[in-house]
Amino acid sequence: MKYWRKPLDFDQVKIPQGEVSIVSERCKGCGFCVEYCPKDVLVMSEDFNKKGYHPPKVVKSGECVNCNLCEMICPDYAIFSSELADDAANAAAQPGERAEVSAS
């Protein structure tokens, strides 16, 4: 859908960029973070953690807008997002370069 009007400060607004970090050993695989992510950054992994659950994994690292919905909805505090600096956000948005998120 294309809008015919744009906000007056359209050229000044910057979309926030974030990086999702997952503590896979804390996750119980409920899938709330995957379900409620507005940009579909997360999917359920095929790997198992020590508890025997499938933790989520990041598939679209440059698309995160740092809304913190995954962080707020996680009952186990196993996922969090952090805001990227402008330089790191530009590098993450490049289609050829993808930063790998460590699951520690």
- Rounded to an integer, what distance in angstroms lies between the CA atom of residue 68 and that of residue 70? 5
| Cβ atoms < 10 Å from Cβ of 49 | 19
pLDDT tens figures, 11-31: 888 888 999 999 999 999 999
Cα 8 to Cα 12, 60, 67: the distances in Å are: 9, 30, 23
Instruction: Identify the three-state secondary structure at position 90.
Output: helix
Domain architecture of the chain: domains with CATH: 26-93 (3.30.70.3270)
pLDDT tens figures, 51-73: 999 999 999 988 999 999 999 99
Structure token pair of residue 20: 């999702």
State pTM to two decimals. Answer: 0.69
